[in-house]
């Protein structure tokens, strides 16, 4: 399974049930060279200016509240995902 936000495809999906965090990564896992915090409070990892990873905090709580599960970048760009709600199913397998 992959999760898509805008035109970014995250192909590494992990869920940490102890902390209720969804971890998304694009491509081979590697450290970023920059990071930021989204308006939603999530940790964003960048490599050479490209978004490569997202740590979505309080994931199931936000889903249960019906939050939009968007990612807002520093420049105001809002990324949406049609399939992030399926991520828990994929990590449970």
Where on the phi/psi map is residue 68: left (φ > 0), alpha (ψ -120 to 50), or beta?
alpha
Instruction: Return the minimum-mean-pLDDT range out of 1-5, 20-24, 48-52, 65-69.
Output: 65-69
Q: What is the reported pLDDT for 31?
A: 84
Q: What are the tens digits of pLDDT across the range 20-51?
A: 999 999 988 788 899 999 999 999 999 999 99
Contact call for residues 62 and 21 (beta carbons, < 8 A): no
Q: What is the reported pLDDT for 30?
A: 82
pTM: 0.87
- Expressed in angstroms, the distance from the first to the final Cα of the chain is 11
Question: Residue 63's closest CA among 21, 4, 11, 6?
Answer: 21
Q: Where are the domains of the chain?
A: 3-92
Mean pLDDT, the chain, as a whole number? Answer: 90
**pLDDT more than 90, % of the chain:** 68
């Amino acid at each position: 399974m992959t999760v898509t936000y805008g035109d970014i495809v995250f192909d590494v999906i992990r869920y940490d049930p102890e902390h209720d965090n969804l971890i998304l990564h694009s491509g081979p896992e590697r450290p970023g060279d920059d990071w930021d915090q989204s308006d939603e409070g999530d940790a964003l990892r960048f490599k050479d200016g490209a978004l490569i990873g997202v740590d979505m905090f309080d994931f199931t709580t936000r889903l249960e509240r019906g939050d939009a599960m968007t990612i807002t970048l520093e420049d105001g760009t809002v990324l949406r995902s049609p399939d992030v709600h399926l991520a828990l199913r994929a990590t449970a397998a």
